A and B are shown apart, each in its own frame.
Chain A
Amino acid sequence: MSEIDYKDPGYYTNRELSWVLFDKRVLSEAKDKQNPLFERLKFLSITASNLDEFFMVRVASLKDMVNAGYEKPDIAGMTPRQQLSALNEATHELVKEQYAVYNRTLLPLLLQNGLRVIGKHEKLTEKEAEYVDQYYEENVYPVLTPMAVDSSRPFPLIRNKSLNIGALVKKKGGDGELEFATVQVPSVLPRIVQIPSEDEGETAVILLEEVIERNIEKLFLNYDIVCSYPFRIMRNADFSLEEDEAEDLLKEIEKQLKMRQWGQAIRLEVEEGIDKRLIGIIKKELSIGDEDIYRIDGPLDLTFLMKMYGLPGFDHLKEKGYASPQPVPELPEGCDIFEQIRKGDVLLHHPYETFTPVVDFIRQAARDKDVLAIKQTLYRVSGNSPIIAALAQAAENGKQVSVLVELKARFDEENNIVWAKMLEKAGCHVIYGLVGLKTHSKITLVVRREEDGIRRYVHLGTGNYNDATAKLYTDIGLLTCSESIGEDATAVFNMLSGYSEPLGWNKLSLAPLWLKDRFLYLIDREKKNAAAGREGHIIAKVNSLCDKDIIQALYEAGAAGVKIELIVRGICCLKTGLPGIGKNITVRSIVGNFLEHCRIFYFANDGKPEYYCASADWMPRNLERRVEIMFPVEKPALREKLIHILSMQMKDTVKAHVLLPNGRYQKVDKRGKEIINAQQEFCKEAVRAAKQKDEVVSNRVFIPETHHE
């Protein structure tokens, strides 16, 4: 049995290809007839913005590797060049699918439901055209900057991710030589232009680039327009290297710095049927290969669909099956949070339960006269964050406030610097991250001086301290005043402040020093139990699974007979149905209304089960290059809650996809099963729980005395 070498790259899936599959699962939500029409627009829009980010980060990085001559194979044994070429095929296919959904399914449905999207300006009615032209004159024309290219004017800089219209023009009365001209579709104007409709009850819209195209000759008055088409490019620029990449790669690239082509275009999107001469010019100027050109059957950059979702008058086509975040029964509004935590640990399940208690936890701490110190790690916060305000207030109230602000959070750097400076001004002690590590852990410590001594209150979470995303992401939070966790939390902040590691940990496991070993130990323990004929069972819910050591350990445990149930939302480099493992390892992915984000782990441990939650995924970057925290959940009632979450997700028949041995994902076969949409169930339960609590309070019936002595 153990002859199988699970190190073989053949047993692993490339992470980028697995990511494409994830985006396809999101796309399948756009295809899903069960979803309200406007939600489907949103899902399609998400696949597009996801793909943009994927190109900027992952594809750009692979291009860097190829340019640097880096040949090290990935987990699946593919060199960067091989990965790029496989990806090319996959992303082209993905884009084709996106537009198939848009053109063949969504557009007709929108029309049926009274929203007419005018794809081509040629299709405007006379009256509509009149309106559009006027709109152009008044709103668009003033902000356009047309640029023509000739021998005296070089090819202009086309900005990354911007939408442009390229045109071939001929000088009026000239020698007939074709010139290239371009104009950027201004991002300051709304992409969707609403047109007064002739039909009552119908909304008509057209996209801004069509409005410009229609009027393009007005921009180049001395020229005849031969043809004009929209195009969009993505560049490999301004992005520092991803932490995902190995250190040796960084060195390699440093050495070959000259090799890195800054600003190199890595993707060109053009409308299908674009004039050959036009694309020839663009191709040459951007020096981009055919494989990186995407010919699009429809409007470029589908992220405008998110704006379409916001059009007024279509509320009946939006999702209403999910209740808004509910009050937490243990932490009713206006309660003394410290007192409630002293009564017992509280486990929060967002967004079904509201994030408000977490904000209140910090707010109350800021005002509480007995609170000595507040310490917190912040990765991404919302603009205008109430948490930041509370921290600043705490510092002004004389509390010792230490905040670790992670400046390296992707795409959030500038945002973070602004409020970090603000906190500093308020008197907080701000640590701007750690050298060489991203601090991804989510932990808050409140030190309070009480009658019988110092008591520490700790919040640990799987999601960011961001009240906005807490309405959309599913996450777990734990509020506790357990002494052993309090001690560990203090030690965490001592380490983050640059002091030596503690002599030991009570409950918490930290990356990058201990967490991976801890996981490997826990998996191995199940393997040993199974090998000895005892029950071995692991349930793990993560966002991504691509750490080779972890996967190998899982394979070996599975081969030893451990039942391993994985719930992996995104990338999964693990394969199912491998020889020697068979059905012992299953993978499912839930892509639903909320973004699945919590990481929960269950280990059977021979009858003494252990439950953990963590800020980390099973990815090398989480386990090796970030500060992450895993915490156990030990109170029986809270474990019940976790077990329920896991089992509902395992039973989901609506939003779950199952990973097949052939590497594809398929929706769960519903036959003979109860229809369960886990996210929706959680919503209902949260509503019920909140109501029950209310009833308990309002059901105060007076009891009349019946005897009188």
Chain B
Amino acid sequence: MAVKTFAAIDVGSFEISMKIFQVSRKGMKEIDHIRHEIDMGTETYTTGKLSYERVEELCRVLCEFSEIMKTYQVCDYKAYGTSAIREAENTAILLNQIEVRTGIHIDVLSNSEQRFLDYKSIAFQGEGFLKIIENGTAIVDIGGGSIQISLFDKDTLVSTQNMRLGVLRLQERLNHLNASLSQYDNLIEELVDSQLQVYKKLYLREREIKNIIVVDDYISVMLRKKSDNHEMTGYAGKELFDHFEKAYHTKSVSQLAQSWDMPEENMPMAHISVMMLKRIMETMGAELIWAPGVTLCDGIAYEYAEKNKMITASHDFEQDIIACAKNISKRYRGSRKRSETLEQIALTIFDSTKKIHGLGKRERLLLQLSTILHDCGKYISMTNLGECSYSIIMSTEVIGLSHREREIVANVVKYNHLEFDYYEEMGLHSSLDKNAYLVVAKLTAILRLANGLDRSHKQKFKNVRTSLKDNELVITVDTNEDITLEKGLFDGRAAFFQEVFNVRPVIRQKRVIGG
């Protein structure tokens, strides 16, 4: 039986950690978890760079990690850097330096990618997860730099929002204010509430949230240690806060650290986490907390195992992404009907032209998202539809979509309306690589074609079939309506398609007898 060992490395803002996993078709098993505390966040958040000493320390630990990997005969590894690396001004130089010195290649995760990995590792918890999301649930992912709140509607994740309320950041702000411990509670409440109220008004609205899944470094540790009852390990209700507050007001910091079994220096951040979660819970009216105790490393490993087809999740993440997109479209008053027609036509074209575009399932999803979001910019300006849609998509996080994928979708939507910019012209304005650019071109061509077929926005084409014959893409439409407008505009749309694929699209109208 094939048993592989895999190492997941998380270069976080106050800790570098590595988990060694054994991966086989039977599943994943954690073998080792090594953590080294190193505060990189404070430096990058304040100065934009990591100091010489920090880089030295980082490299030393990574070298040790590399030795440990050798011991376990690790076949593969993945190392990700998060906000401390991401927000450094000289990320590229830094990462290259690290790779040359330690041989470890670190990729940088965008916020939404990072949260998605956390989310993935929660979803892979199986039973516990499926059960809890039966009721309204929010995932509260508390990091050093920011927190992320994602909401479930029934069993799909529908929205996600990032707030710069990370524990390290808050602590820094409190330090800056020279706050005394007794002022902590009020100050945290003020800092958190101002953002939470906005969040509630804009995103939460009437949604009923019963459960909170928390991902963090402090509350999870406490919840997972304290329980004697194994079945309830990781679960808590609102009494947690009373318990904590009472302890906080009657015990010294060192006593607290002892009773929560935590290093004393972690107590301020634990305190901030608890206060923040309390405010979030009260704002949402939630009753149950679940701390699955997952870390980013788990997510990295699940991603790896999934990619290598060693495990499959019981949760459909694509449905989450589509639901999120639909939610955005709804927010900006997009036309659902038109989206659906467009989606249907575009996907039909996509599916019948596989041979010539060579794209896969994931790109199909991107096309689908583009159709859903194709008109979101209309909400702001009907004239600058392309630019506005692009901006909206680029600044709205969709959990499960990488930054690159989001940029592809935004570009496809943009070029659906605007003149296409060739790669050679895009130049420095875009961070897209050549492959991504080609995906943009191909998906744009398909979307434009589909858009052309529904120019009047009247959904005249109920039934569209396409077939590839020689150098022609024959699009057969069943309709008795007058399609002069569509036919007239079609050539312009078709030209770009032809340019991209070297295949000429032609429309054939098939009148429905007796229709």
Binding site for B on A (CB under 8 A): 372-373, 400, 447, 449, 451-454, 487, 490-491, 494, 498-504, 514, 517
Cα distance A153–B396 in the bound complex, in angstroms: 94
- Say whether B3 contacts A453, CB under 8 Å: yes
CA distance A498 to B35 in the complex (A): 9
B224 at the binding interface (Cβ < 8 Å):
yes
State whether the Cβ of B485 lies closer than 8 Å to any Cβ in chain A. Answer: no
Residues of chain B within 8 A (CB-CB) of A454 are 5, 22, 31, 72
- CB of A499 within 8 A of CB of B34, answer yes
Judge whether A453 and B24 touch: CB under 8 Å.
yes
In the bound complex, do residue B32 and residue A490 qualify as a contact, i.e. CB atoms below 8 Å apart?
yes
Whether A452 and B1, one on each chain, are in contact in the complex, defined by CB atoms closer than 8 angstroms, is yes
Which of A447, A452, A491 is in CB contact (< 8 Å) with B71? A447
Cβ of B478 < 8 Å from any Cβ of A?
no
Q: What residues on B are CB-neighbors of A451 within 8 Å?
A: 1, 3
CA distance A454 to B33 in the complex (A): 14
Residue B37 at the chain A interface, CB threshold 8 Å: yes
A256 to B434, CA, bound (A): 74
In the complex, are the beta carbons of A504 and B225 less than 8 A apart? yes
B254 CB contacts on chain A under 8 angstroms: none
What residues make up the interface of B, taking CB atoms closer than 8 Å to A? 1, 3, 5, 15, 22, 24, 29, 31-37, 67, 70-73, 221, 224-225, 258, 261, 263, 293
Contact between A500 and B3 (Cβ–Cβ < 8 Å)?
no
Q: Which of the residues B15, B34, B72, B221 comes within 8 Å of A372, measured between beta carbons?
A: B72
| Cα of A514 to Cα of B31 in the assembled complex, Å | 23
- Contact count A vs B, C-beta below 8 Å: 50
Interface CB pairs A-B, < 8 A, 7: A372-B73, A400-B67, A447-B71, A453-B24, A453-B29, A490-B32, A502-B33
> Do the beta carbons of B72 and A500 come within 8 Å of each other?
no
Question: Please, which residue of chain B has its CB at the minimum distance from the CB of A490?
Answer: B32
Task: Tell me, rounded to whole Å, the shortest Cβ–Cβ distance linking A239 to chain B.
Answer: 32
User: Measured between C-beta atoms, what is the minimum distance from A393 to chain B in Å?
Assistant: 17
One of B1, B3, B221 near A503 (C-beta < 8 A): B221
| Known A-B contacts A499-B35, A500-B15; A452 and B224 likewise in contact (beta carbons under 8 Å) | no
Bound-state CA distance A490–B33 (Å) is 9
Chain A residues with CB below 8 A from B31, complex form: 454, 487, 490
Complex contacts, A503 vs chain B, CB 8 Å: 33, 221, 224-225, 293
The minimal Cβ–Cβ distance linking B372 to chain A, given in whole angstroms, is: 40
Q: Return chain B residues, CB-CB under 8 Å to A504.
A: 221, 224-225
Interface centre among B1, B67, B72, B263 (most CB of A within 10 A): B72
Beta-carbon contact of A494 and B32 below 8 Å: yes
Residues of A with C-beta under 8 A to B22: 453-454
Instruction: Given A453-B22, A504-B224, answer yes or no on A400-B70 (Cβ-Cβ < 8 Å).
Output: yes
In the complex, A494 Cα to B37 Cα: how many Å? 13
B59 to chain A, nearest CB (A): 16
Q: Which residues of A contact B71 (CB under 8 A)?
A: 372-373, 400, 447
Across-interface contacts of B29 in A (CB, < 8 A):
453
Provide the bound-state CA to CA distance between A494 and B68, in Å.
10
- CB neighbours (8 Å) of B263 from chain A are 501
Closest to B233 in A: A504
What is the chain B residue whose CB lies nearest that of A483? Answer: B29
Residues of A within 8 A of B224 (CB): 503-504
A501 to chain B minimum Cβ distance, whole angstroms, is 8
What B residues does A452 contact at CB under 8 A? 1, 3
Q: How far does the Cβ of A227 sit from chain B's closest Cβ, in whole Å?
A: 63
List of 10 A-B pairs having minimum Cβ-Cβ separation, nearest first: A500-B35, A400-B71, A453-B3, A453-B22, A373-B71, A499-B34, A454-B31, A494-B34, A490-B32, A504-B225
In whole Å, how far is B267's beta carbon from the nearest beta carbon of chain A? 15
Closest residue to B67 on the A side, CB-wise?
A: A400
Name the A residues within 8 Å of B34 (CB-CB). Answer: 494, 499
Of residues B24, B37, B71, which shows the largest number of chain A Cβ atoms within 10 Å of its Cβ?
B71
Task: Count chain B CB atoms within 10 A of each CB in A500, A502, A504 and give the residue with the most.
Answer: A500
A388 to B99, CA, bound (A): 37
Task: Give Cα A409 to B256, complex, Å.
Answer: 33
Question: Which of the listed residues A449, A498, A503, A504 has the most CB atoms from chain B within 10 Å of its own CB?
Answer: A503
Q: How far is the CA of A491 from the CA of B20 in the complex (A)?
A: 12
- Complex Cα distance, B24 from A451, in Å, reads 12
Report the separation of the CA atoms of residues A527 and B36 in the bound assembly, to the nearest whole angstrom.
39
Additional pairs, 6, CB under 8 Å, beyond known A498-B36, A514-B261, A517-B258:
A454-B31, A494-B34, A499-B34, A499-B35, A500-B36, A504-B225
CA distance A400 to B64 in the complex (A): 13
Chain B residues with Cβ under 8 A from A498's Cβ?
Answer: 36
The reply to whether B73 and A449 form a contact with Cβ atoms under 8 Å apart is: yes
B221 partner residues in chain A, CB cutoff 8 A: 503-504
Q: With both chains docked as a complex, state the minimum distance between the C-beta of A481 and any C-beta of chain B, in angstroms.
A: 14
Min distance, Cβ A563 to any Cβ of chain B, angstroms = 24
Shortest Cβ distance from A400 into B: residue:
B71
For A400, the chain B residues whose CB sits under 8 A away are: 67, 70-71
**What's the minimum C-beta distance from A219 to chain B, rounded to whole angstroms?**
63
How many Å lie between the Cα of A517 and that of B257 in the bound state?
A: 13
Specify which of B5, B33, B221 lies most central, judged by the most chain A CB atoms within 10 Å of its CB.
B33
With CB as the reference atom, state the residue of chain B lying closest to A491: B33
Picked from B24, B37, B258, B261, the residue with its CB within 8 Å of the CB of A500 is B37
**A501 vs B15: C-alpha distance in the bound complex, in angstroms?**
12
Q: How far is the CA of A452 from the CA of B37 in the complex (A)?
A: 33
Residues of A close to B72: CB separation below 8 A? 372, 447, 454
What residue in chain A is nearest B29 (Cβ atoms)?
A453
In the complex, which residues of chain B have a beta carbon less than 8 angstroms from the beta carbon of A502?
Answer: 33
A372 cross-chain contacts in B, Cβ below 8 A: 71-73
Can you name the residue of chain A whose Cβ is closest to the Cβ of B64?
A497
**B residues less than 8 Å from A373 (CB atoms):** 71
Chain A nearest CB, measured from B384 CB (Å)? 51
**A499 proximity list for chain B (CB < 8 A):** 34-36
With a CB–CB cut-off of 8 A, which chain A residues contact B15?
500
